[in-house]
Structure 1
Amino acid sequence: MNFNDLKLKPAILKALSEENYTTPTPIQEQAIPVVLAGRDLFGCAQTGTGKTAAFSLPMLQLLSDQQKPPGKRRPIRSLVLTPTRELAIQIYDNVRAYGRHLDVRAIVIFGGVSQKPQEEALARGADIVIATPGRLIDLMNQGFIDLSHVQILVLDEADRMLDMGFVHDVKRIIAKVPQKRQTLLFSATMPTEITKMVQTILVNPAKVEVTPVSSTAERIEQSVYLVDKANKQTLLLDLLRDKKIASALVFTRTKHGADRVVRHLAKAGVSSAAIHGNKSQNARQNALAGFKNGTTRILVATDIAARGIDIDELPYVINFNLPNEPETYVHRIGRTGRAGLSGTAISLCEEEELPYLRDIQKLIGKKIPEITGHPYPLGSAPSEPKEEGERQRGGRGRQGGGRPDGAGGRQEAGRQSAGQGGRADAGRGGAAPQGRQSQPQGGGRQQQAARPHQGPRPFSLKAQPTDTRRS
């Protein structure tokens, strides 16, 4: 099947040809006819399966087929809600590309930037609004947005929006949209909350399910290193000495951890940048642009900030920290091996993360090959090194911001004024103040006769037989 078989307009087919799209993905092939028929849709598919085109192509066609409403200002006829700024921008760019030959206008709304340009764009009118919930609520409360003409409502990455604490905002927004509408909901996972949402806001929906969340792309080569926490930075640098790793997306669990990895890489002369909720919108966009154009070799990201990072030719994903939710691992490594290409996913697993590793392997239904014979196996580190600031404070191990990015409600990027309460979400600007976590003096585990720490030694990246005693 090709896009010509999906009964799309010539203007859309021309845009797809210019984007070098020829064959629809499974979710596009199944979803586009359903949406064109005017039905509600529940799509269950993980990141990288082509969801954006699955809903935006038929949405553009349905809107362009309608007669333009009277009046100079175009009413909002379609609303797309998404959890993060990056994903909102990505969807906006795709909608503009697919609809370049249509008289359909789209705008994007998110926090972390001045709302003045967004106010001006709304004043000019738009057929499609792509927005993060927090900033959308702000503009609604100020009277800049009227959702009473919305005909198509799209909830993208609905599970992540709920994880980030957007459930009440989403309900408030839905209450302002006409009950008689077409609703499209996409989610990578099926928690109970999503099932309830499907039952309450969708009417007789068609269900399209592709690439179950427990599956990982066959083209992705996975491996894991068991390593002490104190040696993770050194092991990461050793891995990056391999010239084959021209670029890599590195995942950490916390914002503070992402910044710390970047500092260590900078000291070793490795170009890198962090992207997380505490970064301004400009800083995040610059970091992503530098990574895409090759001026930055390593992009270090937290899970929430990484939603919306769409890079077709990303060869390596490195899990500096394993996620505590096994589904998140699938989302992470799904950033590589896209567009029919191969990819490599490397994980660094410390002792406290072994239960996470077991949960991941149970979810994906297979054992991840362990790399043995490297210089930094579990139990080899004398003690965890302290940051310079920690040594100056007497080694008390105080850490700033050890909380996972996104934990504890809205964390993606909230209001930028320090100490201000309320939402700290992807649609709102700066971030909530981070709490402090204390840890026992001395950090990682110690051994009585631990050998002195040796400098990095070269070793093979080839997978060795798995040591089942550590699994």
Structure 2
Amino acid sequence: MTFKDLKIIEPILKALDEKGYQNPTAIQREAIPHVLTGRDLLGLAQTGTGKTAAFAIPILQLLNEDKRPSQKRQIRSLILTPTRELAIQIHECFRQYGSYMGLRSCVIFGGVKQKAQTDELKQGVDILIATPGRLLDLMSQGFISLDSITHFVLDEADRMLDMGFIHDIKRILPKLPVERQTLFFSATMPQAITALSQRILRHPVRVETTPVSSTVDTISQYLYYVEKAEKKNLLVNLLRKEKDQAVLVFSKTKHGADKLARVLNKAGIGSEAIHGNKSQNARQNALANFKSGKTRVLIATDIAARGIDIHSLEVVINYDLPDVAETYVHRIGRTGRAGNKGVALSFCSQEEYRLLNDIQKLTGKKLNTMAVPA
């Protein structure tokens, strides 16, 4: 099946073809036809499944067909997402897929001065991608009205809950028109997220992609039992052994990420850390350096890594095991995308045995144990 089979219009097909995206993923095949009919949608999708295109492509098509006369562009689509990095990534997708359509999109997020964002909003936009805090801030200042919204996307709802944004979302919802199409995406459905979806969706179609256990089966996973004090040496040795690979390393803490970057740079391995205490410019620069190959190793905390989308990423290393087993799946899903091979290495100290058991129970897969190199 191709995007043409989904009845995607020519301008979008042209943009997709230029980017080399010819065949839709499972979530795209299931979701796009329903969204094009105007249905509300509940999408359960793991990271790396192509869900951004699953809502961006049909929204662009629907907006293109809605030729309403207006003296000024009004915001017709709102995409709400938990992190700055993910907001930027989604914005780039809308720009790519809609490059021949004349629709304007804008991204707003906190952590930077607002003037550049408000200047763009004043010019008029069709599609707004936003993080909750900055959206509420600019709404309170009168820069944004949601009165003309026809399509509302709540992306990564479970991460919104983890980051404490549910209260902000509940403040935003009453500002949206009652008559709208709502698309709701989440990797997991804890009770609070189920309740929220039932509140905002009307007779939705439910689309669910491959379950966790099948998703992680496509990635080669290896485990090193190593004492906490020896993890740094193991990391340096492994990175020196594979000199040309781009590697994403996960640290549990911001301080730990910074410390690892210093250790690796001292060992002659070009590295940068990315986390919430870094300025937005520093985070964007670090990500750009990693994507371009200027920096070989990127060390990230879980929240900062949300939204990192690098098709050629070969290796993910869990320097610290995550406290929540499902986070492991999100982490390793950064590799092995678009049919490429992926490798995930995990370091487990004695204090982390319980976390390892939780991961193996969730995935139904026993990690392959590797000997620590001498």
- The verdict on a shared fold, with TM-score over 0.5 as the criterion, is yes
- Cα distance in 2 for residues equivalent to 1:221 and 1:351: 23
- Cα distance in 1 for residues equivalent to 2:77 and 2:255: 38
Match of 1:269 in 2: 268
In the alignment, does 2:3 pair up with 1:3? yes
In 1, are the aligned partners of 2:247 and 2:314 still within 8 Å (CA)? Answer: yes
- Cα distance in 2 for residues equivalent to 1:88 and 1:150: 18
Match of 1:253 in 2: 252
In the alignment, does 2:346 pair up with 1:347? yes
In the alignment, does 2:350 pair up with 1:358? no
Deviation at 1:213, TM superposition (A): 3.1
Deviation at 1:84, TM superposition (A): 0.6
Match of 2:208 in 1: 209
Greater mean deviation of Cα atoms: 243-252 or 279-288:
243-252
Match of 1:231 in 2: 230
Q: Give unpaired runs (5+ residues) of structure 1.
A: 376-456, 458-471
Select the structure that is richer in helix.
2
Q: 1:71-110, aligned counterparts within 5 Å?
A: 71=71, 73-110=72-109
**CA deviation string 1:327-376 (max 9, x = no partner):** 0000100100001010110001111111000000000001111113x26x
SS for the counterpart of 1:317 is strand
**CA deviation string 1:367-422 (max 9, x = no partner):** 111113x26xxxxxxxxxxxxxxxxxxxxxxxxxxxxxxxxxxxxxxxxxxxxxxx
TM-score, length basis structure 1: 0.78
- Cα distance in 2 for residues equivalent to 1:19 and 1:367: 37
In 1, are the aligned partners of 2:316 and 2:334 still within 8 Å (CA)? Answer: yes
Larger Cα-atom Rg: 1
Percent identity over the alignment is 62
- Cα distance in 2 for residues equivalent to 1:274 and 1:146: 37
Q: Could you say what the CA RMSD is over the residues aligned between the two structures, in angstroms?
A: 1.1
Deviation at 1:218, TM superposition (A): 3.0
Deviation at 1:244, TM superposition (A): 5.2
Match of 1:454 in 2: none
The aligned amino acid for 1:176 is: K
Match of 1:409 in 2: none
In the alignment, does 2:340 pair up with 1:314? no
- Cα distance in 2 for residues equivalent to 1:371 and 1:8: 47
Match of 1:13 in 2: 13
- Cα distance in 2 for residues equivalent to 1:107 and 1:25: 26
In 2, are the aligned partners of 1:251 and 1:300 still within 8 Å (CA)? Answer: yes
In 2, are the aligned partners of 1:303 and 1:332 still within 8 Å (CA)? Answer: yes
Deviation at 1:215, TM superposition (A): 3.7
Deviation at 1:302, TM superposition (A): 0.4
In 2, are the aligned partners of 1:215 and 1:330 still within 8 Å (CA)? Answer: no
In 2, are the aligned partners of 1:92 and 1:108 still within 8 Å (CA)? Answer: yes
SS for the counterpart of 1:216 is helix
The aligned amino acid for 2:70 is: P
Match of 2:161 in 1: 162
Cα distance change of structure 1 residues 194 and 213 upon mapping to structure 2, 3 Å threshold: farther
In 1, are the aligned partners of 2:75 and 2:146 still within 8 Å (CA)? Answer: yes
In 1, are the aligned partners of 2:315 and 2:344 still within 8 Å (CA)? Answer: yes
Deviation at 1:217, TM superposition (A): 3.4
- Cα distance in 1 for residues equivalent to 2:166 and 2:214: 27
**CA deviation string 1:32-54 (max 9, x = no partner):** 00000000000000111110110
Match of 1:414 in 2: none
In 2, are the aligned partners of 1:3 and 1:24 still within 8 Å (CA)? Answer: yes
- Cα distance in 1 for residues equivalent to 2:68 and 2:84: 29
- Cα distance in 2 for residues equivalent to 1:8 and 1:225: 46
Q: 1:48-447, aligned counterparts within 5 Å?
A: 48-71=48-71, 73-243=72-242, 246-372=245-371, 374=372
Deviation at 1:266, TM superposition (A): 1.5
SS for the counterpart of 1:217 is helix
- Cα distance in 2 for residues equivalent to 1:59 and 1:137: 23
- Cα distance in 2 for residues equivalent to 1:261 and 1:89: 26
The aligned amino acid for 1:62 is: L
The aligned amino acid for 1:285 is: Q
Match of 2:26 in 1: 26
Deviation at 1:180, TM superposition (A): 1.1
Greater mean deviation of Cα atoms: 35-44 or 211-220:
211-220
- Cα distance in 2 for residues equivalent to 1:245 and 1:212: 32
- Cα distance in 2 for residues equivalent to 1:124 and 1:213: 43
In 1, are the aligned partners of 2:216 and 2:363 still within 8 Å (CA)? Answer: no
SS for the counterpart of 1:154 is strand
Greater mean deviation of Cα atoms: 12-21 or 128-137:
12-21
The aligned amino acid for 1:242 is: K
SS for the counterpart of 2:369 is coil
SS for the counterpart of 1:370 is strand
- Cα distance in 2 for residues equivalent to 1:142 and 1:235: 51
The aligned amino acid for 2:7 is: K
- Cα distance in 2 for residues equivalent to 1:157 and 1:213: 16
- Cα distance in 1 for residues equivalent to 2:211 and 2:138: 36
In 1, are the aligned partners of 2:213 and 2:365 still within 8 Å (CA)? Answer: no
Greater mean deviation of Cα atoms: 294-303 or 189-198:
189-198
Match of 1:393 in 2: none
- Cα distance in 1 for residues equivalent to 2:214 and 2:191: 20
Q: 1:35-54, aligned counterparts within 5 Å?
A: 35-54=35-54
SS for the counterpart of 2:183 is strand
SS for the counterpart of 2:11 is helix
In 1, are the aligned partners of 2:260 and 2:299 still within 8 Å (CA)? Answer: yes
Q: Give unpaired runs (5+ residues) of structure 2.
A: none
- Cα distance in 2 for residues equivalent to 1:18 and 1:245: 28
SS for the counterpart of 2:78 is strand
